[in-house]
Chain A
């Protein structure tokens, strides 16, 4: 076997450096593109889908509780309750339509189930209203059927949709949030190879410095620093978006769901008229989930300890105050009903005055909605920041790779030429 000649060796090294440079460039670019895609999915698809699912659940659950309260009210149905119910249905339909645009196959099936059943639900509610106006108890039977459909089919589907959107969102955050090890390693390999090439050239010739290779090394270092830093900053933003955003969203959405469920339980306990122990037990359990047994713990307590800013804390603190007040008022209603004063209990539960139970619940609902809005915004804002951190890196990597390859080739060309 003959010894390899110097120009042949230079040729091989050049080819190796070019391949390595191109490989690293493509790998870096792949990482950047993958992460950018994840970030735009968070900001543009799974984030909004999660918000739509939250809206859908809230609207449906509130429609159920509102219809039940309208039924409990004596005499003509109050106009504000009717309006609230109609708004809930309109919002649910809007959220359903928008969510369908972003949904994958599984979510589309869930949304399909909701879209099939929602008109059936509203039909039952309208039938109930007609019979109520005739003054016959058949209306109540239709309302119970509607409520069963809501609680057993519609709400679970909306909840599954939310959970699936959150899973997808959190998976995207986890994937986009890791440290860019591959990029760092490839960069180090390139820098190392360039250094080795320089040592080789220095040994074979008497020139200590090769301008092309030095330029290539500088470019490689620059690219290494830029991509590692940008990817890491983006990952940090995404991590913040997860910790202060999506994780808190899950918690707050659970809290709002608990509040809505307890509100419906409250009305159903009274509608069942002495036969509602199941609903009352559920109310107690759900309210304990919400604020803990002593009013300071539960989901809202956890949300408060996780809330990153004073603005979040203020809103959640307010929600907790409303929830405690509601719990007190509920206790008074139960005392009246358990003491045999059913009519007074109903009057108290359905009154809509400024400090009434309905109003206090309305404030709790509004505060929870505000808290969720702040947190949802944080999720998409952090994804946006992360996207900005990666901005230009894709094009930059192409140019840098081009520069690196060119510099390496230009560095070796005169050395190879010397042997011609």
Chain B
């Protein structure tokens, strides 16, 4: 009988196993700590911090502002001389211009219409008017600062109108028209930051676009600020607003466009460079350079330049006289 008594006990153990009552739940885990959670700071695409600063290439001494003299009077729209870059553009039916689409007041998208507008877009449309008699016969192609020279060299655009500083080094790679806007490099800072000059920015972050002359100028400052680069000057304003940089430094006219979008920022500092802006054109098309200079002559003298300046850039102050063209021949 004793043996029989063992069987129900084993059965009871089996039943317990089958129903799972024998298993205890997992030991209570401690609550995950929440104190070490910290804010995440997002970044625009393609930010370099600190920026790689390309060393200036060797360049012979030159007069950066000096371009090619226009020949005689402009050809009539639709009647471009054969075998020229202008004739090839006319053949295509539209002019292709590399522009910025994020430079407020210069070249930006009007959210109401989706059209690109601004001071530089006006110049691009004047070029199309001179070629076709139609200011709309232009395809505006957005490019980054760093792409300005490559797209001209690869022939993807006919010209670049994108606050491109004329330098002797760049003259080695592309040609420029005469100067269409004068500017100087300054600083944009948050109001009340106490920063007045580059001297206040030692060891602090200063933003400019990759491939610009501005980024080199920042790196060359004796106070040793840390250069940070982005694809677009506008991304620098985002970084400034988010407290990720202490200043933006580029030409004063672009800074005015940034300051106009955020009234809590201010433009400060004495100018640290002289930056003439010209239309970038392929070195292989001197006839197009002369043509563009001819159009710019007309735009300067017939009041178009002043009207456009007044419309877009009046916050920079009363319209100055247009830059005086300088020719090398």
Interfacial residues, chain A to chain B (CB-CB below 8 A): 18, 22, 25-26, 29, 33, 72, 74-75, 108, 116-117, 120-121, 124, 131-142, 144-146, 148-149, 272-275, 340, 342-343, 346, 394-395, 397-398, 401-402, 405-406, 409
User: B40–A148 contact, CB under 8 A?
Assistant: no
Between A and B, 29 residue pairs with Cβ closer than 8 Å are A75-B113, A116-B37, A120-B39, A132-B111, A135-B110, A135-B111, A135-B112, A136-B104, A136-B260, A136-B261, A137-B108, A137-B109, A138-B234, A140-B234, A141-B238, A145-B238, A148-B42, A272-B142, A273-B109, A273-B140, A274-B141, A274-B142, A275-B144, A275-B147, A394-B18, A401-B14, A402-B11, A405-B10, A409-B4
Confirm or deny: B35 has a beta carbon within 8 angstroms of a beta carbon on chain A.
no
Partner of A138 from B96, B113, B237 at Cβ < 8 Å:
B237
Query: Total number of A-B contacts with CB less than 8 angstroms?
Result: 127
Confirm or deny: B45 has a beta carbon within 8 angstroms of a beta carbon on chain A.
yes
User: A346–B114 contact, CB under 8 A?
Assistant: yes
* Closest Cβ neighbor of A142 among chain B residues: B238
CB distance from A264 to the nearest CB of B (A): 14
Q: What string of 1s and 0s marks CB contacts (under 8 Å) between B24-68 and chain A?
A: 000000001000010110111100000000000000000000000
User: A139–B115 contact, CB under 8 A?
Assistant: no
Confirm or deny: B217 has a beta carbon within 8 angstroms of a beta carbon on chain A.
no
A225 to B143, CA, bound (A): 74
Partner of B140 from A74, A135, A274, A402 at Cβ < 8 Å:
A274
Partner of A26 from B7, B14, B37, B142 at Cβ < 8 Å:
B14
CB distance from B151 to the nearest CB of A (A): 9
CB distance from B322 to the nearest CB of A (A): 26
A108 to B108, CA, bound (A): 43
B 118-155 contacts with A by CB, 8 A: 139-144, 147
Extra contacts, 20 of them, besides A138-B104, A148-B45 (Cβ < 8 A), are A18-B7, A26-B17, A74-B112, A74-B113, A117-B40, A120-B40, A120-B42, A121-B42, A135-B111, A136-B260, A136-B261, A138-B237, A140-B102, A141-B102, A145-B42, A145-B44, A272-B142, A275-B141, A343-B114, A401-B11
A136 to B139, CA, bound (A): 22
* Closest Cβ neighbor of B233 among chain A residues: A141
Confirm or deny: B178 has a beta carbon within 8 angstroms of a beta carbon on chain A.
no
CB distance from A269 to the nearest CB of B (A): 11
A302 to B45, CA, bound (A): 35
Q: Which 5 A-B pairs have the closest CB atoms?
A: A274-B141, A340-B139, A273-B142, A74-B114, A137-B108
A33 to B15, CA, bound (A): 12
Confirm or deny: B224 has a beta carbon within 8 angstroms of a beta carbon on chain A.
no
User: A405–B7 contact, CB under 8 A?
Assistant: yes
User: B4–A141 contact, CB under 8 A?
Assistant: no
User: A141–B18 contact, CB under 8 A?
Assistant: no
Q: Which residues of B contact A340 (CB under 8 A)?
A: 94, 96, 139
Q: Which residues of A contact B113 (CB under 8 A)?
A: 74-75
Confirm or deny: B328 has a beta carbon within 8 angstroms of a beta carbon on chain A.
no
**Contact status of A144 and B141, CB under 8 A, knowing A346-B114, A398-B14:** no
User: A398–B235 contact, CB under 8 A?
Assistant: no
Partner of B101 from A131, A273, A346 at Cβ < 8 Å:
A273
Confirm or deny: B262 has a beta carbon within 8 angstroms of a beta carbon on chain A.
yes
A175 to B179, CA, bound (A): 75
User: B101–A137 contact, CB under 8 A?
Assistant: yes
Q: Which residues of B contact A145 (CB under 8 A)?
A: 42-45, 235, 238
CB distance from A170 to the nearest CB of B (A): 24
A308 to B261, CA, bound (A): 58
B 233-266 contacts with A by CB, 8 A: 234-235, 237-238, 260-262
Confirm or deny: B194 has a beta carbon within 8 angstroms of a beta carbon on chain A.
no
Partner of A33 from B7, B20, B103, B115 at Cβ < 8 Å:
B20
Confirm or deny: B2 has a beta carbon within 8 angstroms of a beta carbon on chain A.
no
User: A25–B14 contact, CB under 8 A?
Assistant: yes
A131 to B102, CA, bound (A): 13
A388 to B233, CA, bound (A): 65
**Contact status of A141 and B17, CB under 8 A, knowing A135-B110, A135-B112, A406-B7:** no
B 136-186 contacts with A by CB, 8 A: 139-144, 147
* Closest Cβ neighbor of A22 among chain B residues: B10
User: B40–A116 contact, CB under 8 A?
Assistant: yes
Q: Which residues of A contact B147 (CB under 8 A)?
A: 275
User: B234–A402 contact, CB under 8 A?
Assistant: no
